[in-house]
Amino acid sequence: MSKTLVVVVPDVDTLAATVASRLVAKIVDAQAERGSAGVVLTGGRIAKRVLAALPGLPEAAAVNWSQVDLYWGDERFLPAGDPERNETQAREALLDALPLDPARVHAMPAADGPDGEDAEAAAARYAQELHLGGADLPPFDVLMLGVGEDGHVASLFPEHPVLNETASTTAAVHNSPKPPPTRITLTMPAIQSAYEVWLIAAGPDKSDAIGRALNGDKLLPAAQATGTVKTYWLLDKAAAAAVN
Ligand SMILES: O=C1O[C@H](COP(=O)(O)O)[C@@H](O)[C@H](O)[C@H]1O
């Protein structure tokens, strides 16, 4: 039975440091158990802060970075290297400085990649990459998600048809209410396959959506994002203001 836990810390800096530290511990534990770890990264402001906080942690020295598989929960479908791509932001904040195995960095395709601007083909290509080892998705030890002011996670937005996609593990998103309009995302069943889902949010603008999601308002994608073992809500005090 999956458990939901809420962790509240005083402010955004403490949140970034706390999540970074928990992430390192999780990777170290997964590597101790299985030899490798699978981490799904998120985009957005809190993601950048978490990744930037990681190198300052002494415990980060315990990670074998060559045995970490990195995936993304969603991507803004833009050309490679575009500063708005979640991949570009993660590389700049941390990844370029780590001794990762490039074959284990599973970025979502860019809009100038092999499929050009065909977002459906690019999403299908990413699904193929995820399923390379067989029919199942790879093990996602931790899947991190930022939470939008509207309660979106990854690129799954409230009332958008892709939220109901269950036939595939990835999808193209058109007409996203948040720019850019075209995106690629893991679908909700793919998110729900992770052992642990961590929903991370800071600031007062998120408090309403977080309060609603934690009260079980399933119209919000954030309320549907759960891990098979645990679901953590990692919040600063401002974001947790409506949590009762
Ligand atoms: O566009 C996106 O936004 C969300 C939330 O970002 P934030 O800046 O409000 O923290 C993010 O989780 C998602 O990955 C990204 O594509």
Cα–Cα dist 224/192, whole Å: 8
How many H-runs (helices) and E-runs (strands) does the chain carry? 7, 10
Token pair of 139, please? 């093990």
Closest ligand 1 atom to 200 CA:
10
Per-residue pLDDT of the chain (244 residues; tens, 9 = 90+): 789 999 999 999 999 999 999 999 999 999 999 999 999 999 999 999 999 999 999 999 999 999 999 999 999 999 999 999 999 999 999 999 999 999 999 999 999 999 999 999 999 999 999 998 677 999 999 999 999 999 999 999 999 999 999 999 999 999 999 999 999 999 999 999 999 999 999 999 999 999 999 999 999 999 999 999 999 999 999 999 999 8
Closest ligand 1 atom to 146 CA:
12
Closest ligand 1 atom to 42 CA:
14
CA of 62 relative to ligand 1 center, distance in Å: 29
Looking from the CA of 240 toward its CB, the CA atoms found within 13 Å total 18
**Does 151 sit in the ligand 1 pocket, CB within 6 Å?**
no
Token pair of 85, please? 């791509």
Tell whether pTM > 0.95.
Answer: yes
**Does 86 sit in the ligand 1 pocket, CB within 6 Å?**
yes
In DSSP terms, 38 is beta-bridged to 69
ipTM: 0.97
The full DSSP string for 125-182 is HHHHHHTTTSSSPPP-SEEEEE--TTS-BTTB-TT-GGGG--S-SEEEE-S-SSSSS-
Residue 110 is classified by DSSP as P
* Residues listed for the chain: 244
Nearest CA to ligand 1 atom 14: 43
**Does 44 sit in the ligand 1 pocket, CB within 6 Å?**
yes
71: nearest Cα among 60, 86, 58, 57? 86
DSSP-based three-state secondary structure for 103? helix
For CA atoms 86, 114, 97, 191, the dihedral sign is: positive
Main-chain dihedrals φ then ψ at residue 113, nearest 5 degrees: -85, -160
Give, rounded to a whole angstrom, the gap between the first and last alpha carbons of the chain. Answer: 23
Cα–Cα dist 216/213, whole Å: 5
**Does 109 sit in the ligand 1 pocket, CB within 6 Å?**
no
**Does 206 sit in the ligand 1 pocket, CB within 6 Å?**
no
Contacts of 28 (CB under 8 A, 6+ apart): 59, 62, 63
Token pair of 177, please? 């209410």
Closest ligand 1 atom to 183 CA:
16
Token pair of 46, please? 């809190």
